Structure 1
Amino acid sequence: MSNWHPPAPPGLRTGPLPQRSAFGLRLQFGLQWFWLPIRVLWDFLDGSVALDGTAEPGASKFVLTPSRYRLERHGTREEWEAWAARALDRGIEQELARVRSRLEHNKKYRYKYKGKDLMPRTSIRRRYYRGIGLGGLAALAASRGWQVDWSSDLAEAQIFRPQT
């Protein structure tokens, strides 16, 4: 795969995003232990957490772990690239599984998913690419054969696989 990706439109800031404040991070890290049990209980009662581990846990994406705290405060570009690459790989795999299941559905049933429903597209939240920016995320996506949708919202970057 190549690292070439379509350039960003003029005026769009693609560099690393500003660091989060140390006070805000400390506050989030300290207060999360008060609301985390409530969030876990809510997810359990809501049915989004299964006892067999098949459902995706909702609380884990909101937890500021010590390693993520260190990354937010003192992370290098290489550490941010590894963090974003893991999130990108996870998102791509989930999206490809969704598209595969829709193709299987098309084989079995009369109703067919068409066009946009079969175009692989995922999103990566800003917390995963803050230290490398959209430009770094675009390079990571290009190395996997995907591209950034430059017209999408910056809080959640849209990544798609171009049709060949």
Structure 2
Amino acid sequence: MTNGQEHRGAAGYGGGTPQPNPYAQPNPYDRPNPYAQPVPPQQQRQSQSQPPPYAAPPQPVGGLPGPLPRRNRLVVLLQFLLQWIYAPLWILGLVVVFAAIIAAAIFSNYGGDGPSSDGWLRVNRSFIPPRRLRAELTGRPEDWERYVTPVLRRRIAAAEASHAAGGGQVQVDLGREVSAELAVRLYRGLGAEGVVRVAERFGWQGAPSGTDAGRVRLVRRFPAPATLSAPSPQDPPAAPGTPWGPQPGRFAPLLPVIFLLQIVYVPVYGLLTFWVDRPEPDYWERWGARWTVGPRAFRAEFTGSPAAWERHVRRILKRESTRELGRSADSYGRLIAPDGTFLRRIQLHRATYRGAGAHQALRIAAEQGWMLDPAFAPDPANSLRLCRPDHR
């Protein structure tokens, strides 16, 4: 008998044994992939010596832009010296402009359109870090490579962290693709072909498209999880405090205080940290689940009533389902199988099912045909990613 934390026959939460489909409706991850394309016999023979299907073939470097001409040394030195003067003034000017825009909106009902580009906000685009100065002055590819490599390593690490947190574009084989880009100012003397060679050391490739003289785009594909370790909707309810069970509620008398103060501290926190690059694609949902309380979830969290939590889950599930089912099939583009099959996707955040438990939310969703999305590893502590087969 299970305790709600594992499939039948699994080794527990996180077990890896494939399980029979617990859902009554067709389940996309217990049958052949409907998105798979037929492979000619000749390609099948060639694929025996190829990397796994989720690893895109390396981008040929011959067709990518090479190094650009070195900039004038005197211009580079002048820019490096003067930037310590104009960069602070630029930032100060932006503060004044924003203050003027806010004042105009408050006192004169200004409703005009802003600039079509945010390039004027990017003071960093004209800033030469000291570490890049040597490469700019010498123009040698080896100096540029020494500068680009750590920059590229950080971009790749952030992109892979985003994938681990559920980011990336879902592919037709249910794997996910993450990408990273570098502007030409970061690799001028190395060229896009040199950047791709460096990226290949980390298991990344140049994108088949989107790489031009002004930027280079890199991608890496990750396979879908081999199995989904999660309780079945028919399993006994998960125990409270376990990853799939109801989570402890916050101190009830504190909730009204949070509810009132969040009107002030949420925008303040957002304004102070909007410039921070978050690797987690759902960072704000996670932060909100911890530091805010929604008006719809207030009654359920304040009372801790299982019935109130179930009503809240059903209300949010209905809203998300209606929104997703309202999308036309054509909007799924390349994710539609040759037979017209595709997967609709929604996401329920932890704040929606905190007091009910992820397992209970999964049971409610299964009643309406939703199931765990096979493209994502289950993460009940933060969100539930669900899918529902449909046909065009």
- Shorter-chain TM-score: what band? 0.5 to 0.7
Give 1:125 deviation, angstroms.
0.7
Give 1:9 deviation, angstroms.
5.2
Q: Kindly indicate which of the two structures has a greater share of residues assigned to helix.
A: 1
Aligned ranges for residues 18-57 of structure 1 at < 5 Å?
18-22=248-252, 25-35=255-265
1:137 maps to which of 361, 370, 374: 361
Match of 1:92 in 2: 321
- Tell me the alpha carbon deviations over residues 17-42 of structure 1, each in whole angstroms, 9 at most, x when there is no partner: 12123465344223123247x58xx9
Unpaired runs of 5+ residues, structure 2, are: 1-21, 25-228, 233-237, 272-291
- Alignment identity in percent? 28
**What letter matches 2:259 in structure 1?**
F
SS at 1:161 equivalent: strand
Match of 1:81 in 2: 310
Give 1:80 deviation, angstroms.
0.8
- Asked whether the equivalents of residues 231 and 359 of structure 2 are also in contact (C-alpha less than 8 Å), the reply is no
1:146 maps to which of 363, 366, 370: 370
- Tell me the alpha carbon deviations over residues 41-82 of structure 1, each in whole angstroms, 9 at most, x when there is no partner: x9xxxxxxxxxxxxxxxxxxx6633x6333212131111111
Highest RCO, 1 vs 2 (Cα 8 Å, sep ≥ 6): 1
Aligned ranges for residues 53-68 of structure 1 at < 5 Å?
64-65=294-295, 68=297
**What letter matches 1:8 in structure 2?**
A
Instruction: Give the direction of change, closer, same or farther, for the CA distance of 1:83–1:122 in structure 2 (3 Å limit).
Output: same
- Asked whether the equivalents of residues 344 and 390 of structure 2 are also in contact (C-alpha less than 8 Å), the reply is no
Unpaired runs of 5+ residues, structure 1, are: 43-61, 107-111
Q: Which runs of 4+ in 1 moved over 6 A?
A: none
**What letter matches 1:14 in structure 2?**
W
Root-mean-square deviation (Å): 3.7
Match of 2:15 in 1: none
**What letter matches 1:113 in structure 2?**
R
Q: Are positions 1:17 and 2:247 aligned together? A: yes
Name which one, 1 or 2, has greater alpha-carbon Rg: 2
SS at 2:385 equivalent: strand
- Asked whether the equivalents of residues 316 and 352 of structure 2 are also in contact (C-alpha less than 8 Å), the reply is yes
Give the TM-score, by structure 1 length: 0.61
2:387 maps to which of 157, 160, 164: 160
CA distance in structure 1 between the aligned counterparts of 2:243 and 2:308, rounded to whole angstroms: 21
SS at 1:32 equivalent: helix
Q: Are positions 1:114 and 2:343 aligned together? A: no
